[in-house]
Amino acid sequence: MSFVQDNWWLFVIAVVSGLGILWPSVAKKMSGIPQMGVAEAVTLINRREPLVLDVRAQGEFAAGHIAGARLIPVGELKTRLAEIEKFKDKPVLVTCATGNRSFNAAKILKEAGFKEVSNLQGGLGAWQQAGMPVEK
Residues with catalytic annotation?
Answer: 96
3-state SS of the chain: helix, strand, coil percent to 5? 55, 15, 30
The answer to whether the beta carbons of residues 87 and 52 sit under 8 Å apart is no
How far is the C-alpha of 80 from the C-alpha of 68, rounded, in Å? 18
SS3 at position 52: strand
User: Cα torsion at 72, 108, 32, 24 (round to 10°)?
Assistant: 80
